[in-house]
């Protein structure tokens, strides 16, 4: 998945901290592990949060080893979405609990077509995300109890996501669950196609940048 022409790398939500990590050589290319260096910024965009709209201009980075460049996408965002991961996650959970898309749109103050698009995109990939987050849960907690079926693919996927987020919190410390979901999915929770694999969060410096 790309934003513009550059592949994305999920990073933290504090732009000053991300800039510091980047300039000190602590962020690595996901393709070759080469050191990333500052390379300008991506286009500015408005991201509608739970209470306000924020202006975000993600940094770009270039690899010192391979010719690849990357957009450093903050973990509160999802790729190509105007709403924050937390807002979208609230809508997904409400739908899993039986609320229809029109009521969700009313509650969140979003267009009906926008909410319907979230729900459809996630639903058609629910089986993939259930497997992905179940695998991640077991990587984070090998003793995790089996996931109980909810009766729907979407409910199962969201349950797996929530349990994996809780396991990550136990291992690495507190973090908003939808930021975890955004980072773990590489920003593609509502992407056009499921990613091939999702790696377990690491306690290394780059992982700290994603918190």
Q: Give CA–CA dist 76/53, Å, rounded.
A: 12
Q: Structure pTM?
A: 0.84
> pLDDT digits over 112-165, tens only?
999 999 999 999 999 999 999 999 999 999 999 888 899 999 999 999 999 999
Q: Identify the helix (H) or strand (E) that includes residue 123.
A: helix 112-123
Residue 145: predicted pLDDT: 87
Region class of 98: left (phi > 0), else alpha (psi between -120 and 50), else beta? left
Q: Identify the helix (H) or strand (E) that includes residue 205.
A: helix 205-209
């Amino acid at each position: 998945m790309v934003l513009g022409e550059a592949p994305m790398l999920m990073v933290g939500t504090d732009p000053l901290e991300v800039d510091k990590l980047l300039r000190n050589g602590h962020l690595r290319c996901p393709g070759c592990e080469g050191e990333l260096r500052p390379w300008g910024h991506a286009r500015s965009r408005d991201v509608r949060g739970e209470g306000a709209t924020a202006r975000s201009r993600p940094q770009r980075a270039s690899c010192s080893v391979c010719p690849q460049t990357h957009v450093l996408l903050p973990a509160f965002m999802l790729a190509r979405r105007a709403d924050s991961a937390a807002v979208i996650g609230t809508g997904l959970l409400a739908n899993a609990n039986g609320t229809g898309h029109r009521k969700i749109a009313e509650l969140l103050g979003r267009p009906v077509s926008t909410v319907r698009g979230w729900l459809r995109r996630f639903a058609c990939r629910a089986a993939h995300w259930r497997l992905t987050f179940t695998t991640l849960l077991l990587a984070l907690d090998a003793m995790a109890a089996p996931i109980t079926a909810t009766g729907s693919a979407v409910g199962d996927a969201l349950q797996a996501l929530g349990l994996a987020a809780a396991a990550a919190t136990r291992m690495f410390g507190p973090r908003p669950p939808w930021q975890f979901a955004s980072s773990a999915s590489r920003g593609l929770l509502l992407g056009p196609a499921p990613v091939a694999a999702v790696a377990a969060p690491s306690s290394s410096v780059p992982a700290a940048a994603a918190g």
